Amino acid sequence: MWYRGGRSTEIARHCNRVRAQPLSHPLHQHGGMEDLTPRYTCLPAAPPAPTFAGAATPVRARLWVSPAALKLLDEAPRLWLTLADGRVLAVRLPQVRMGDDCVLARLTEALLPDVRGMQWIYENLPGVGIVQVLHAAPVVPPLSAQHAGFVLQPDFRQFVAVLDHQVLALLMRLEREPVPPAITRRDGEAPHPLPRSFFASVRNYNRLVALPPELQERRMQALHRFPALVAPILLTAHRYPNVVDGKRHAWREVDEAVEAAIDMGRDLTGALAAHYGISRGLTRAPVNAEYWYAPSHALRRGWLAMLDALPANLRPTLAEFERWLVYLPNYFALIGEDEEGDPLPLPASVHRGAFRLGWRATWEKAARRFGNLHPALADCDDFLTAVRDHLAVRMKRRRGPRIERLAQAWLACHGLLGLLAASERWHRLRPYIAPGLVPPGFALPAVLGTFEGDGCLARELLTPKALAEEGEAMRHCVGGYWAQCVAGERIFSLAAFGERATAQYHPRVKPEADDTVYRLVQLRGPFNGEVSPRIETLAHEIEARINAPERRDERWAVLHARGRLEVAELEWRQARQQAAAWLDAKTHRQLEAVLEWLELTPPCPEVLLCDYIAGYQYHDGAAVKDGLRVGDALSLVREPDNPHDRLAVRLDWQGHKLGYLPRPRNAEIALALDAGEKLAARIRRIDAEADPWERVEVVVQTAP
């Protein structure tokens, strides 16, 4: 497989989002709040608090900020307030004049009671109008990106002087710079930096500063001792500062047991271990001594479970963990994620086997051999698909084990290096299907065809022969991508600037526009190598031409062809399954250990089919399920007049219809029955908790 550039990792998406923000926290610019005042020792002390309109206003300091100072395009002023109880409020006031202190009394009267920060907008506050509460705003607003002269302004100095510097210093510590990722790029470009979370927000500051002194001290101690584990429970890890719109911005992984352990001075190590489902040893491990970034709470749990599976002497330090962190999304995508993209619970043997040489040694050896591991890990998917198809033939099933299960088994038995090496070996040998196996007259409609210009040539590959020739010339596995092309994807051969590359474009239907959009998802050079920036530019130009408005009819024709070519695709997939069953001798030997780990035993030669009953949920299965037993004999009944399938074979149990043998594997058995061969069927396995279509498995074999 080529690197799926269109499926960028969650880390890369957050990187781009963080870099796109116009704000930069002033505390980063000046080395931390504790260092800010001593740099200006020649200045007089902070001026006394100004007298605001209304002597009873419970405000210790206020700071008006213009939109221009924040590089914003709107005209609404922003206002930061420090209240008498220590809390900070940041608000957007679209109907108030800049610097109008007359609104302070009404503002504080309305906002002061909301200690928990539940409100984020007031639609029509008397005398003020609309008020947006900016919970994710930085505690100290960044007033200028050009110079630090704003620190001399009396209002700014007064506002900073009344803040709790210890709380700010703690929040700033959580925003530490992560270790650079270890990616070897052949094009010489620097990899995306790891993302950072934003903690020094009004929301997080108020969570700590508003606590009674004893509770505040205990929570800050817990954050100092276990920042990577406690911060997600007590605080919100914002993606970036927000001074634009109001929301609660209050998400965190609430756990009352952990909070009680902190507040009452109980066993915090045990409470955190129970919360994350990890050992006490990993809770106290150096890797958790500083905060490290994870895109979600579920991913943090999954990554911790992976680290916990490793022996203590093979676990990484914090720097080693962050150095290779960028590859974890690819790793977990390979071994299985849920619908939300979060890691699935896995046996510890999977991670322990994957990193049997240790975390650092495994990644370093892999990087030395395979370079950028993003494409190397993505390529494993094609290899495991071939293994799955091989096992489907060998196990006499319609399909083999799920790719995720195969990945787990391979990692457990042969390690991450073993999986990468087997994948590289399979891609290097490049088995592909003979074009002659495709039904005659099979054709795909072109979405662009051929494009030439300025010494560049882009050619759409619309036949199995063209794909096979491209795979042979480029020495990669694109020859096996015909099924994807039938499903609507498009492969282009690119030639320009003395280079060659192969590009894959994936369609996505846009219902709101009644159109289809193609996106570049893979781009590879010879031997699956990376390409130059100029070739990448050409690939994106082809993407733009495919998506041009005048080619809308061609894009729809591609998708409409899928139904018309369904039969041919089915025959192609059967041929593909037989061809992809080819594996080299070493992989065959490794596969025996994988089968043992999966607890799969190949059937005897007499077995023709092992598969689940099709349509079980639509017939008598629910009524007789309590009577079904493993080993029960089933009757094979031919239905040549079935309007849905003339090769239909019905399965009966004691006169009750359970369903049918699944297509297309029923064809061989139907023809055998028509020829008068004696076949027997029996129930092989029953799983009452499985989905209805995988509840009852049957085996069909020749009768003695």
Check whether 483 has a pLDDT greater than 80: no
CA–CA dist 377, 423 (Å, integer): 9
Q: Could you tell me which of 10, 13, 69, 17 has the C-alpha nearest to residue 240?
A: 17
Give CA–CA dist 143/149, Å, rounded: 9
Is the confidence at residue 46, as pLDDT, over 50?
A: no
Q: Using CB atoms within 10 Å of the CB of residue 26, give its burial: 0 to 12 exposed, 13 to 18 middle, 19+ buried.
A: buried
Residue 668: band (very low, low, confident or very high) from pLDDT cuts 50, 70, 90: confident
pLDDT band with cut points at 50, 70 and 90 for residue 472: confident
Q: What is the mean pLDDT of residues 392-409?
A: 85
Exposure pattern of 115-147 as b/e (b: 16+ CB <10 Å)? eebeebebeebeebebbbbbbbbbbbbbbeeee
Higher pLDDT, 124 or 37: 124
Measured between alpha carbons, how far is 692 from 437 in angstroms, rounded to an integer?
35
Instruction: Please say if the pLDDT value at position 589 is more than 80.
Output: yes
- pLDDT of 439 reads 59
pLDDT in the model for residue 13: 40
pLDDT in tens, 545-568: 999 999 988 888 887 766 555 445
CB contact at 8 A, 572 and 482: yes
pLDDT score of 47: 47
**Cβ-contact 87, 121 below 8 angstroms:** no
DSSP string for 517-573: EEEEEEEE-GGG----HHHHHHHHHHHHHHT-GGGHHHHHHHHHHHHHTHHHHHHHH
Strand, coil or helix: 507: strand
Mean pLDDT for the stretch of residues 42-46 = 42
CA torsion through residues 581, 586, 592, 597, sign: negative
Q: What secondary structure does DSSP assign to 647-702, as a single string?
A: TEEEEEETTEEEEEPPTTTHHHHHHHHHTT--EEEEEEEE-TTS-GGGSEEEEEEE
End-to-end CA distance of the chain: 45
| 509-514: Cβ within 8 A, 24+ apart | 509/559
Residue 389, pLDDT above cutoff 60: yes
pLDDT for the residue numbered 584: 86
pLDDT digits (tens, 9 = 90+) for 169-206: 999 999 998 888 888 766 566 777 888 899 999 999 99
Q: Is 235 exposed, middle or buried (0-12, 13-18, 19+ CB in 10 A)?
A: buried
Cβ distance 86 to 79 under 8 Å?
no
Listing from the earlier edge strand, what are the strands of the sheet with 121-125? Answer: 59-65, 78-83, 88-92, 129-133, 121-125
Average pLDDT over residues 273-297: 95
Q: Which helix (DSSP H) or strand (DSSP E) does residue 145 occupy? A: none
pLDDT at 428: 82
* β-pairing verdict for 129-133 and 450-453: unpaired
What pLDDT score does 615 carry? 87
> Tell me, what DSSP letter sits at residue 339?
T
107, pLDDT greater than 60? yes
Taking only the tens place, the pLDDT of each residue in 367-380 is 999 888 988 998 89
Residue 131 per-residue DSSP state: E
Strands 499-510 and 490-496, bridge-based pairing: antiparallel
- Bridge-based pairing of strands 679-686 and 515-524 is unpaired
Residue 8: its pLDDT value, please? 36
In this predicted structure, which of 17-26, 494-503, 545-554, 637-646 has the lowest mean pLDDT?
17-26
Q: Packing angle between helix 328-335 and helix 403-429, nearest 10 degrees?
A: 110
- Pull the structure tokens for residue 12: 């890369």
Closest Cα to residue 485, out of 432, 446, 433? 446
Greater confidence, 647 or 44? 647
**611 vs 209: which has the higher pLDDT:** 209
Q: H or E segment at 224? A: helix 213-225
Q: Select the CATH number that applies to the domain covering 603-702 from these four: 3.10.20.740, 3.40.710.10, 3.40.50.2300, 3.30.70.2330.
A: 3.30.70.2330
Residue closest to 85 by CA, chosen among 60, 53, 51? 60
Q: 61 phi and psi, to 5 degrees?
A: -160, 150
Q: Could you identify the residue written with the tokens 């087997």?
A: 422
- Is the pLDDT at 211 greater than 90? The verdict is yes
Q: Please tell me the distance from the alpha carbon of residue 322 to that of residue 443, in angstroms, as a whole number.
A: 49
Candidate from 18-32, 97-111, 146-160, 556-570 with smallest mean pLDDT: 18-32
pLDDT score for 34: 36
For 409-540, strand residue ranges (E) read 450-453, 456-460, 490-496, 499-510, 515-524
Chain mean pLDDT for the chain: 83
Task: Identify which of 417, 42, 24 has the alpha carbon closest to the alpha carbon of residue 241.
Answer: 24
pLDDT at 322: 94
- 417 DSSP β-pair partners: none
Residue 12 binned pLDDT confidence (cut-offs 50, 70, 90): very low
pLDDT at 556: 83
Provide the CB-side half-sphere exposure for 662 (13 A, CA).
18
Is the pLDDT at 497 greater than 70? The verdict is yes
CA atoms within 13 A of residue 587's CA, in its CB half-sphere: 22
User: Residue ranges of the domains in the chain?
Assistant: 1-269, 294-425, 436-577, 603-702
Amino acid, single-letter form, for residue 235: L
Mean pLDDT calculated for residue range 561-578? 53
* Residue 535 and residue 496 in contact, taking contact as beta carbons nearer than 8 Å: yes
Residue 32 binned pLDDT confidence (cut-offs 50, 70, 90): very low
